A and B are shown apart, each in its own frame.
Chain A
Amino acid sequence: MSRKLPKYFFNFVCLLVYIFLLAPIVVVLLSSLTTTEYIVFPPEGLTLRWYTELIEHPEFMQSFTLSIIVALGTAIIATAIGTLASLAFVRRQFKGKTAIVQLVGSPLLIPSVVFGVALLQFYSWIGLAASPLALILGHIILTVPFVMRLVVASLVGFDRSIEQAALNLGAGPMKVFFQITLPIIKSGVIAGAIFAFITSFDDLTVALFIVSTDVVTLPVRIYTYMQYQYDPIITSVSSIMILFTVVLMLIIERVLGVGKVFSSKN
C-alpha cells in the first residue's frame, strides 16, 4: 500500500493539471447556454438563445467572415511560399544561408506588439489602408516560421533517388514536384497550413493595430466588445471559435497524428 501511495499522489497531481488546462473551455462552453442576462457558471437553465442572438449582431458575423478570409489567405500564401523556401533551405547551399534562416525564424522572438506597431507605422507611410490584404501580409510574417519548421522536418530524410528516377524517365521538374515531391511531404505541408490558419484566426495583437472601423477581425471584435459590455454573447462567440479550432485540431489528429507532427520538433 505505502509503495503505491506516491503513484496515486502523482496521478492526482497530473489530473489537477489536466483540469486546469480544460477548465476554461468547459466553463465557456457551458456558460454560453445560460438563460440569464449575465454570465454565470454553472448555467441557469439551458437555451441556445445567445447563439441565435448572434444573428442580430451582424457585426460579429461580418468579423467572423473576415477572419475566415484572412486566415484562409494567410494559410494558402504562407504555406506556398514557406514550402518553396524550405526546399531551398534543405536542398541547396548558398551564400548568406544562416542569415536568411535567422531572419525567417525571428518573428518568433520579436514581441508581436512591437511588430504590430511597426507594421501600422509602415502601412500609414506607404498608404496601405486596413484591408484583408494588409492583415494577410502581417499574418504571413507570423506564420511562415511555423510552416517552414514543419515542412523542413518532412523534407529531411527524403529519398531523392525517386525524383531522380522520374527526371530520368523524362518528367519535367514541375511534374516531378507535383506528382512526387509534394505527395511525399504532404503531411508537413497540411500541418503547416492548418497551423497558419489557426494562428491567423486567433491573432489579436497584430490585428489590433491594423484594423479599422469597417475591417475588424473576430478576436478584435470580442476584445473591444468586452471593454464596454459583459454579457453571455461573449461566451457564445468564444464557444464558436473554440469549437471551430477543436474541429481543426481533430483533423490534424485524424490525418497525421499529433504525435507525428510534434515528434519532428524534438
Chain B
Amino acid sequence: MQAGIGTEHDLLLQQKKKNMNKKRLDTWLLLLPTLGIFIFFFLLPLFFLFMTSFKNFDASTGVGNEWTLQNYIKFMSDPFYLGVVWRTVKIALLTTLITIIISYPVAFQISRSKGRARNYLTLLVLSPLLISMVISWVILLSNNGVVNTTLLKMGWIDQPLTLLYTELSVVIGMVHVLFPYMVLSIMGSLEKIDPSVIRASQNLGASSFRTFFSILLPLTLPGVFAGSVMVFSLSVSSFVTPAILGGPQVKVMSYLTYEQVAVMLNWPYGGAIGFLLILIATITIIAYSKILARSEKGVAIQ
C-alpha cells in the first residue's frame, strides 16, 4: 500500500516536471520566430555597422581593413559637422515646443468631448501618423505653391517667399507628423484628473486662467514631459521630413548618414554619424528616465 502511494506520488511529480519542461519548451517556441528575425535582421546588421564605423575608408570597396577612431574624431572636430548637430537639435527643440503649444488645447477639447465627435476628432488628430503627407507640404510651400500664390494674390508680398528647403519648412512638416504623439500623451494625463477638482476650483471663485495654471497644468506636466521626450527623440532621428522638405540645403544628421552612404559611398563615416545620432536620441531618453525616477510621479513613456 505504502509503496503504491509512493509511486503514485512520484508519478505525479514526474508528470508535473514533464509539464514544466513542456511549458518551458513551448515558451521558447512562441518566442522563436520573433527572436530569430530580430537577432538576424536587426541586431546583427546594427552590430556589423557598428564595427564598420571603426574601419577606415577605402575608395574602391568603401570599407578598408584598418581599425581607426578617425571617423568619430573627424566628425567631432569639424565645425561644419558640429553645426549640423546643432541644427538637428535646434529643429527638434523648436518642433517639441511648438507641438506642446498647439497640442494642449486640442487634447483638452478631445478629453472633454464624447461619443461620435470624440471618435472622429481622435481619428483626425491621429491622421498624420497614418497618412504620409510630406509631399503635400511641398505643394503648399514651394515657390509657386499654395501659400505663395495666395499671398501674392492678396498683394501682401511682391515676390514669392522662400519657404521650402528651409529650417522653417522642416519644422512645419515635423510638427505636423509628430503632433499625434504629443496629443495622445497629454490626453492620457488629462483623463486621469478627477473632474471634481476642476469644479471645486471654479466654485471657489478661481478664474479659468487661475484654474489652468494652478491645477490643470501642474497635473498634466508628466504627460507633457513624456510627450516631449518622444517628440524630441523622433524628431532628431527622422529622415523623410528633413530629406523632402529640407533636402541638401537643410542638412541634419540623418540626411548626412544617408548622403555619406548613398552618395559618397563612405560606409564607415556614414555608420559613425548614424551611431552618434543613436547616442543623442538615447541620452535624451536616459536623462528623462533619470529625472522621472527622481520625481516619482511621472508617467512612463509608452
Contacts and interface: CB of A to CB of B under 8 A. Distances in A.
Interface string B258-302: 100110000100110011011001100100000000000000001
A258 B240 contact: no
B52 interface: yes
Interface in A11-62: 11, 13-14, 17-18, 20-25, 27-28, 31, 38-41
A91 to B, nearest CB: 9
B123 A249 contact: yes
Contacts of A118: 45-46, 48-49, 271, 274
A104 B33 CA distance: 12
Interface in B105-148: 105-106, 109, 118-119, 122-128, 130-133, 135-140, 142, 144-146
A102 to B, nearest CB: 11
Contact of B38 (A14, A103, A208, A209): A103
Contacts of A41: 139-140, 145-146, 149
A184 interface: no
Given A27-B139, A92-B23, A111-B239, A262 B146 contact: no
Nearest to B150: A41
B140 A249 contact: no
- Decide if the interface of chain A is mainly helix, strand, loop or mixed: helix
Interface residues of B, number: 79
B154 interface: no
A198 interface: yes
Interface stretch (A63-71, A134-142, A154-162, A164-172): A134-142
A180 interface: no
Contacts of A266: 184, 187-188, 191, 302
A75 B286 CA distance: 32
Contacts of A219: 132
A236 to B, nearest CB: 12
- A-B pairs with the 7 shortest C-beta distances? A24-B136, A111-B237, A122-B45, A266-B188, A114-B274, A118-B45, A88-B30
Interface of B: 23-24, 27-28, 30-31, 33-35, 37-38, 41-46, 48-49, 52, 102, 105-106, 109, 118-119, 122-128, 130-133, 135-140, 142, 144-146, 149, 176, 179, 184, 187-188, 191, 208-209, 233, 236-240, 244, 254, 257-258, 261-262, 267, 270-271, 274-275, 277-278, 281-282, 285, 302
